[in-house]
Each structure stands twice: as C-alpha cells, then as structure tokens.
Amino acid sequence: MPTHRRVVLAARPSGVPTESDFRLEESPVPDPADGEFLIESVYLSVDPYMRGRMRDVASYAAPLQLGEVMTGGGVGRVAASRNPRYAVGDWVEGMTGWQTHLVTRGAGFRKIDPTLAPPSTALGVLGMPGLTAYFGLLEVGAARAGDTVVVSGAAGAVGSAVGQIAKIAGCRVVGIAGSDDKVAWLTGDLGFDAAFNYKTESDYRARIRDLCPSGVDVYFDNVGGPISDAVMPSLAQGARVAVCGQISQYNNEQAEQGPRQWFHLIVKRARVEGFLVFDFANRYDEGRERLTGWVRAGRIQYREHFEDGIERMPAAFIGMLGGANTGKMLVRVRPE
Ligand code: NAP
Ligand code: FER
C-alpha cells in the first residue's frame, strides 16, 4: 500500500533552520472525489523564499502555521482522475507542497510536455527561477547589448540563467559565487566573461572594479549584504540594480544595518528596483517559450542537484541555503 508522506513545519527556526524544525508525517493516500485528480509527486523544489514562509510574518501569503505542510512547487504525474481535463499519466506542475501525494481540482496547476524538456526543468530553468532570471534581467534590469552585467548568487538556479541570458543579449557578464568549482562552471561552461569566489576574496570592491573597468550597467542582486555593498561604487552612469533576492539576510533574526552605499546612486543616476516574478504572470508563456527555445538549442545550459526521498527535503533546503547546490536544488521523490 502506498503511503502519503509529507513534511510539516514543526517549529519556527531561529537563524539557520535545522532538521528539528520539520516533521515527517504519514497517512493513507487520499482518493479523488468527483472533479478532482490525484498527483504523485516526482520532483519537489526547495527555494529560498520558503525560509520567509517559516516566519510568523504575513507577506503575499499568510504565514505557515505550525503543523502545516511546507509550501513549495513540485512536478508529478496524475495517478487517478475524476476530472475530464486530466488523464492518468499526465505530467503536471504546481504548488504541491512538500508531499508525495496531493488531491486537487487543478487550480494553479498546468500540464507540462515531457517531450520538450525533462520534467524537472519545470521547477528550474524552465520554471519559476528561469522566469525570474528572464524578466528580472531584461525588464527590471533592462539589460542591452554592450552592457556589463554583474550577477551575485551566480551559480544558483536564478543566477546561472541570468548570466547566460545576458550573454545571449550581447552583454559582458561577471558572476559572484561561493566556490572555485562554481566559478569554473560559470567561466568554463556557461560563457561568463569572468567570475570570482567571494569566500576566498578579501577585497570584493577592488575585484569588481578590476573586472568591470567600464563600470556595472546592470547589477542583478540575489544576495544583498557586503557583496552588494561592494558593487555600488562600480555602478556606471544610468545603472540599473534589479533586486531579486537578499539571501545573505534570510537567516538573520535581526535586520542588518544598511544598505549604506547609496551615495553612488546619486552620482551615477542609478535606479534600484525590487521585483517579484509574479509581477510578470501574464507574460509567463512568452518567457517559457523563449527559455525553452534557448535550452533546446543548447544556448542555455543548466545543472540540477538531486537529493533522493521525501525525507531529504529538510536537508536539501538547509543545504541550498548554505550553498550545497550548483544550479537548481531538487528532491527526487520517486523514479520517473
Ligand atoms: P540558488 O541560488 O539556487 O540557491 C541559493 C544560493 O545562495 C546558494 O547556492 C548559495 O550559493 C547562495 N548563498 C547562500 N548564502 C549566501 C550568502 N550569505 N551570500 C551570498 N550567497 C549566498 O537559489 P535561487 O532559487 O536561484 O534563488 C536565488 C535568489 O533569488 C534568492 O535570493 C531568492 O530569494 C531570489 N528569488 C527571487 C525571486 C523573485 O521573484 N524576486 C524569485 C526566485 C528567487 P554560494 O555557494 O554562491 O554561496
Ligand atoms: C523569493 C523571495 C521573496 C521569492 C519570493 C519572495 C518567489 C516573496 C516574499 C514575500 O512576498 O514576502 O525568492 O521567490
């Protein structure tokens, strides 16, 4: 008998989350009622935003309650259906939560075509992170041919796509990431013009200045903190800072001081703009189509880091927050 297994929020973390903040629960697999279908999860996503959902602070969604299934996107297959629009075997993507099974009427789910690309990519380069890179770079950052683009968190799901889209757009690209292997991937395989390891570099500011002699036209910020402070003095005239994420701050219980390097915004007539990928929801089809074309043509490469088994969700999430992933961090719940 298959069992429905799910990971719930057991305690609100203080600082870096630990395994004891999560709990694995089991119950019988539910049956779909009329109009519903049953999804068997195959890949589940762990994403930085989930750290925010664990706090007792309202945002675009109400905070998770203790005992609730962790929020998250997933890809799976229809295992039973009483909904005429979904047939057994269909691949679907949507907000499954951290669980092996889900019964739904289909709201927020879409079918994916496994012949276009591996289904797991619907959570990474062809999913929310890829769309974030596409719209954040081209719309918010307004990257244009000839621009110098700096991206932090460069070897992650969003950052690795940002750099490659920027190359396609004719930009010069500099990445900042947390290991020599990540840097080697960016410059050796993905076509970044330069990259450095912030964990072994003592003077970020000088390094960025050296790598961007004509200044930074677009800074795609995934991390915030000291890395972002160090980019500001190198902004070019009319620069755009697209604030996508601030992961260096997500485990802080007390907000850090800053940002304080904003005098440079005056001198450089620069614009800083935060955004959420959801702002572009009415253009997702366009974004997915272009990303799919680039991936299929080999112009965008991607990597996935897989952990195996629903019980590895907390470890995958904690690992991702600490930089264990190159590319997109995913959990494989069952074989395809
Ligand atoms: P990811 O980059 O695949 O994984 C997170 C990475 O963050 C880790 O691999 C780690 O790599 C890096 N990191 C962790 N702590 C850090 C620190 N103190 N300083 C610098 N880097 C640190 O995750 P993702 O899903 O692509 O998300 C990247 C960023 O985009 C996050 O900030 C996320 O919140 C944001 N995001 C925003 C939106 C939106 O709509 N605005 C949507 C999706 C994602 P290193 O080894 O390099 O440290
Ligand atoms: C993210 C960081 C923050 C993200 C969403 C948010 C989708 C939104 C937070 C909020 O509205 O409180 O990486 O990805």
DSSP β-bridge partners for residue 37: 81, 104
Verify whether ligand 2 is closer than 6 Å to residue 153 (CB atom): no
Burial (0-12, 13-18, 19+ Cβ within 10 Å), 260: exposed
Span from the CA of 108 to the centroid of ligand 1 (angstroms): 24
Q: Which ligand is nearest to the CA of 132?
A: 1
Partners of 221 in the β-ladder: 243
Q: Given the CA of residue 321, which atom of ligand 1 is nearest to it?
A: 14
pLDDT digits (tens, 9 = 90+) for 99-146: 999 999 999 999 999 999 999 999 999 999 999 999 999 999 999 999
Q: Is 323 in the pocket of ligand 2 (CB under 6 A)?
A: no
**Alpha helices per DSSP H over 54-156:** 128-135
Could you tell which of 45, 46, 49, 140 is best to mutate to test the pocket of ligand 2, judged by most ligand atoms within 8 Å of the CB? 49
Gap from CA of 39 to ligand 2 centroid (Å) = 25
Q: What is the pLDDT of residues 49-70, one digit of tens each?
A: 999 999 998 777 788 999 999 9
Q: What is the reported pTM?
A: 0.98
Longest pairwise C-alpha distance within the chain: 66
Question: Can you give the three-state secondary structure of 202-257, one letter per residue?
Answer: CCHHHHHHHHCCCCEEEEEECCCHHHHHHHHHHEEEEEEEEECCCHHHCCCCCCCC
The pLDDT value recorded for residue 322 is 98
Q: Is the pLDDT of residue 259 over 90?
A: no
Could you tell me which of 245, 311, 305 has the C-alpha nearest to residue 123?
Answer: 305
Task: Judge whether 251 and 15 are in contact, CB under 8 Å.
Answer: yes
Which distant-in-sequence residues (6+ apart) come within 8 Å of 254 by Cβ? none
